[in-house]
Amino acid sequence: MRCLIAVLLFLITACPALADDLQAFSAKLAPLAGIHTVQAEYRQIRLLKSMNFTFEIRGHLYQEQGRRLLWAVSTPLHSVCIFEANSIRLWDAETNKVTTLSGNDMPWLKLLFDYQNSWLSGNLASLNADFEIEVTDAQTLRLVPKRQEFTMFFSAIEIRFRKEFDAIEKLTFSEKNGDSMTIEFSNIKNNQTIPEQTWVLPPK
């Protein structure tokens, strides 16, 4: 009984502290609200734990906050995806063809688009409805999905921000089977004009 009381007392005192930590972290993300465009390079590492195998993808991205996101792969194969609120356009160098997928056929598309906008803008309030959010260190948040459909794809997401809190430095997606995907961002440039030609597919 005394052990149970001790646990309850710990939870009662710890919960406000956790809430305070999250509120303080949210305040540090204020610089993200002033970011309207992002350009960056990335290194994506996929780990398949059961096979003890990793492979790497490199590329770059362009982001217009709330409008569209371009995700380009330069190695090992060249391809480009452009995400918008209601569609995805895909192009690959091998076929030089563009495929368009409608958001009406994929309800999860708008959810995905909204979440990545929330991550990049530091909007924790909008994420809180569908994720348990934990502060793991001075620059990192851990998100655990509440929605069943998300747990099929990942068990947790870790988001590490730059020290200036004006960009995401690293994303880590963990899966229940031990597999993971880590994306590290570099050469990040904020609020620079993105030429309209960038969004044309096939790329010129």
pLDDT score at 84? 87
> What DSSP assignment string belongs to 102-125?
ETTT-THHHHHHHHHHHHHHT-HH
What is the C-alpha to C-alpha distance for residues 108 and 36, in angstroms, rounded to an integer?
Answer: 24
Name the pTM for this structure: 0.82
Token pair of 64 as six digits: 């217009």
User: Model confidence over 30-57: pLDDT tens digits?
Assistant: 898 899 999 999 999 999 988 889 999 9
pLDDT score at 14? 36
What is the C-alpha to C-alpha distance for residues 120 and 127, in angstroms, rounded to an integer?
Answer: 11
pLDDT score at 3? 35
23, 40 Cβ separation under 8 angstroms = no
pLDDT score at 119? 64
Ranges in the chain, pLDDT < 50: 1-19
pLDDT score at 196? 96
25, 135 Cβ separation under 8 angstroms = yes
User: Model confidence over 75-93: pLDDT tens digits?
Assistant: 999 999 998 878 889 999 9
DSSP H helices in 133-200? 148-151
The SS3 of residue 4 is: helix
pLDDT score at 152? 76
